[in-house]
A and B are shown apart, each in its own frame.
Chain A
């Protein structure tokens, strides 16, 4: 996994680990936009995303010496971000949120391929982002981890606390939720039996 559009700033990371504040600032400026966007996609409000971004970098600074330099820094950073955002969302869920756990056992209907193609063709990025905002927190988190930060199924399973074999199901259900949200404002129906 690599950060979207990022190369590994190995030297900056090494200097930041030694306490070089200039290097830390460079590292922050390098990765903060991508992490903020990650949080913006994962969290329900902009304010939450801003808070989460700041807290993730505070965690990162505390944990930077634990980073194994033989591995991908951005993958490690996204793992921290995903864990942090998921923790925040779970804490919030405990208070007042709902999730889609209760519908996990509902069988999914496969979409009609041509209608699905039509839906995808007609939807804009903006509409997709708006639809994402309406999803349950686990569905949205799974999609963000997979399609924004390109995390592996193992990493997603680890972050969400589910079995690796269950990740595909989570992603598929998330896609169905998303299609439903995208289709709500149109006459396009993507359900159907095969």
Chain B
């Protein structure tokens, strides 16, 4: 109802004026006639007079609450900085340039070499992310669901983002989006085919038994003598596969023996692996001892890391190895690329492609071995002991990248950045939580990743873990900077302390011998500080116990623009 209608209504009848009329009266917005009506009425109606006074007291409470100087003017606003702000625009250009440099360094230093090596090992792929996530590293069904999972991954990350920044959002909408994305995630991630779970001290899939669908199996001793028409995920002390697996075999096993047939890929992290049977596709394995027996066969490529690798059987395509000792006496259909202490190519070995080895000793090649070309050998240089100018230039560039990363984080989340630095000051709590998060979250993420149901959660957690790992040095740098220069809550002084602290931390972590350990400690410390700040932020905050502002009695004089009860 509008004020005009209100005035009309009050003229029309002599009933109780409603709250709107009383509010307009208190606000001196009624016309003279309507105001007169309210004034006369409230002289005789206690109820309306009480409400009128309550509305007026509410107005004063509002004014008092808003005018109260509960926080000082931020130092950032102490002076007018328009000119400075404009002049600071150049820093974004520098940030962009250095960020590009940092990304380039990351790519050329880490991603590209791995990508090249993996491509050479037969994992032909345009980019590493799609290789790892979408092109069958864990689940062959990824390829067909590429687009869908991309969208879901983004939605999940958005959900976590909304959750993290929910203080800045309407709680209802943030939670709605979060739950919607999680619900969608749960709905879609349900495996389409039937999945069987087996658990026990000894689990045996007997000869003649057929399991239709994927098999998740855990146990002390797992035997697969029958047939699995799907993928097998095994967590066991000992795994013997003498039967037939139509899909992939993914195992976390101490001792693994494969004498049967695996139609798909083998992905495994084990203590000992022996293959006397056949893997029709590729093998990716990380273990202490790997042995491809003379009767063993791998249809495509073999990528292996470990202490001792022995290849006596047949590998259809390339062999990529990272090991202390590698012995080849079988047939390699493609090239061999290795890195390690030594490589021995024995008689009976046949390598159809190039042989490239990077190690401490030149490869030992038997005269009876058949090689497509002489081995190319590169002696490993211990760069850590010969740190030249280039190394330190890159350290400076990386330090700059860290500082810029810190600037972006602190700029995006200034309050959280300060809370994180404060948390880093609690050494015991930070270290304790850091150990838990560093190992626990990483392991949990990996486990989640290898199970289809938890893939999104696993990848998201892993991403968060990596971001925390990179941000750990900044958090520690912040507290170190505060120890050096003293505490400040203003943005640029706070950031300056981060710069000084990060520089100090980088110097310490660059020192020979102790640098690596220092870096590890910084990672634990910083991740713990970030986790602690997150934990505290997620706790419900309690309002400080501020005594109430004394209200004047009802009979006290009202502000000049109000009248009560016609007085």
Contact = CB atoms under 8 A, between A and B. Distances in A.
A4 B67 contact: yes
A76 interface: no
Contacts of A169: 1-2, 20
Contacts of B20: 168-169, 172
A91 interface: no
B69 interface: yes
B16 A194 contact: yes
B82 A58 contact: yes
B67 A148 contact: yes
B62 A128 contact: yes
A9 interface: no
B59 interface: yes
Contact of A110 (B19, B29, B168): B19
Interface in B69-100: 69-71, 73-74, 76-77, 79-82, 85
Contacts of A123: 61, 548
A58 B61 CA distance: 32
B62 to A, nearest CB: 4
Nearest to B58: A120
B82 A168 contact: no
B65 interface: yes
Given A126-B546, A168-B3, A98 B170 contact: yes
B552 to A, nearest CB: 12
B168 A126 contact: no
A143 B23 CA distance: 13
A125 B18 contact: no
B16 A54 contact: no
Given A47-B414, A98-B170, A172-B23, A32 B73 contact: yes
A117 interface: yes
B546 A33 contact: no
A86 interface: no
Interface size of B as a range: 35 or more
A10 interface: no
Q: Interface of chain B, helix or strand or loop or mixed?
A: helix
A114 interface: yes
Interface string A33-70: 10011001100111100100110011001000000000
Give the residue among B73, B548, B549 with the most A Cβ atoms within 10 A. Answer: B73
A37 B69 CA distance: 8
Interface string B156-187: 00000000000111101100000000000000
Contacts of B64: 125
A144 interface: yes
Contacts of A117: 50, 53-54, 57
A19 interface: no
A80 interface: no
Contacts of A53: 77
Interface in A111-134: 111, 113-114, 116-117, 120-130, 132
Contacts, number: 149
A166 B2 CA distance: 6
A124 B546 contact: yes
Give the residue among B20, B54, B167 with the most A Cβ atoms within 10 A. Answer: B54
Contacts of B551: 120-121
B194 interface: no
Contact of A165 (B2, B77, B169, B548): B2
B441 interface: no
A125 B77 contact: no
A97 interface: yes
A181 to B, nearest CB: 13
Contacts of A4: 67
Contacts of B544: 126
Nearest to B412: A47
Interface in A162-189: 163, 165-166, 168-169, 171-172, 175, 178
Contact of B172 (A98, A122, A148): A98
A27 to B, nearest CB: 9
B400 to A, nearest CB: 26
Nearest to B167: A45
A178 B71 CA distance: 22
A108 B74 contact: no
Contacts of B534: none
Contact of A25 (B6, B80, B172): B80
A25 B79 contact: yes
A108 B19 contact: yes
B54 A113 contact: yes
Given A111-B19, A114-B50, A172-B19, A127 B543 contact: yes
Contact of A96 (B167, B173, B543): B173
Given A47-B414, A54-B81, A128 B61 contact: yes
B74 A148 contact: no
B29 A116 contact: no
A45 B80 contact: no
A124 B51 CA distance: 20
Given A124-B549, A169-B20, 8 more contacts: A25-B79, A46-B71, A53-B77, A116-B51, A124-B546, A125-B65, A126-B65, A147-B63
17 contacts: A46-B415, A47-B415, A50-B74, A53-B77, A57-B82, A111-B19, A111-B51, A113-B51, A116-B51, A121-B551, A128-B61, A132-B66, A147-B59, A148-B67, A168-B3, A168-B6, A168-B23
Interface of B: 1-4, 6, 16, 18-20, 23-24, 27, 29, 47-48, 50-51, 53-55, 57-59, 61-71, 73-74, 76-77, 79-82, 85, 167-170, 172-173, 414-415, 543-544, 546-549, 551
